[in-house]
Structure 1
Amino acid sequence: MVTDPSNSKREVVGSLLYLATISRPDISFAVNYVSRFTKKPMRSHWAMVKRIFQYIKETTKFGISFNGDKNLSVYSDCDYGGDTETGQSTSGVILLRGGPIVWLTQKPNTVSNSTAKAEYRAAVLAIDEVCWIRRLAQELKQLYTSKPTPHYIDNHSLLFTY
Structure 2
Amino acid sequence: MQSHEIIKTCFVDSSPKALAAELGISQSLIYKWSQPVGETQSGSKNPLDRVCALNEACGDNQLIKWLAAQADGYFVPNNVVSAKHDALNPATHEMVSQFASLLGEIANAGLDERITQEEAAGIRKRWDTLKSFADGFVNACERGDFDQMKEIEKQWSRSA
TM-score bucket (shorter structure): 0.3 to 0.5
Provide TM-score, normalisation by structure 1: 0.33
Larger-gyration structure (1/2): 2
**Greater helix share, 1 or 2?**
2
**Greater strand share, 1 or 2?**
1
Provide TM-score, normalisation by structure 2: 0.33
